[in-house]
Amino acid sequence: MQHDDPSSAPACPGPPAVQPAPRLKIPSGAVDTHSHVIGGPPAHPFVAGRSYTPPPATAAQYLAMLDATGMTYGVLTQVSVHGTDNSLLVDALRSNRARLRGIAVIAPEAPDAERRALADAGVVGLRLNVLYGGGIGFDRLADYGALCAEMGWHLQFLIDAAELPALAPALARLPVPFLIDHMGHFPTTRGVADPGFKALCALVRDVAWVRLSGAYRTTVQGPPYDDTVAFAHALVEANPERCVWGSDWPHVANWGTMMTVADLLDLLGRWVPDEATRTRVLVDNPHRLFGFEAPRR
């Protein structure tokens, strides 16, 4: 539910203050491909029409989480509650150029100077979000594809997989790489035979990237998220070369059990039990998509 009155968007909790190390062995060069930094009024106001009100989440807190969990690099995605004001994201990127990349949210007619400034800061892609309010929708998909082709960027989509059968032809025609977030972001009760999930697997097999993430957003059973494992297995089987992982820190709009990032990394061990494949998911694949320094073996 979206809220036009800023005061009516419900507050959501922040992440755990202490982040333990995971049991899972984390390879050198591992990338957390999806997290957010969040400010607040007056310096960084929230948009009307959002569906939640988050607490602040700073770049320093994010880097501390990466250090605690053994992750080398991170990708910050513009959070929906800040709309197209990417200033906080840009500040975080500029202060951590070697370690962070960014995914921005802009209008397709954004001036060239704005685009260039984002690229110079470390932005490597754009996100379209139709689920949480404050994002940009899909009605100008072709314009975004052309913009990203010009900039050398890719596109990311936060979308319910139920929309994919209808959108798949247009997505397949995009002139740039694209990624579907949170394994299609739909409840596990639909099952792996769901037409939307089957469309997602087909896209991943042929052309799309997918983020293995968001277990707490799709589960109906709750921790330890047993009902998500079959979905991750199916996506990795479809194409292990185009799967990446993200923590989704600081886990906005989560009013259920608040997990640690270590919990989610340990779940990745069940999602991708083969160590060599898991290294591809955590290191090789995201290095290709997000432009980090090639890992040394």
Catalytic (active-site) positions:
248
Extended strands (E) in 109-261: 123-129, 154-158, 178-180, 209-212, 243-245
DSSP conformational letter for 226 = G
Measured CA to CA, the distance from residue 222 to residue 60 in angstroms comes to 29
Over its C-alpha atoms, the chain yields an Rg (Å, rounded) of: 18
What letter represents residue 251's amino acid?
A: H
How do strand 123-129 and strand 209-212 relate by DSSP bridges?
unpaired
Measured CA to CA, the distance from residue 235 to residue 239 in angstroms comes to 7
How do strand 154-158 and strand 178-180 relate by DSSP bridges?
parallel
Helix (H, G, I), strand (E, B) or coil at 45: coil
The secondary structure of 80-92 as a DSSP string is GGGTT--HHHHHH
Measured CA to CA, the distance from residue 50 to residue 48 in angstroms comes to 6
Q: Which two tokens stand for residue 185?
A: 């972001």
The secondary structure of 239-251 as a DSSP string is -GGGEEE---BT-
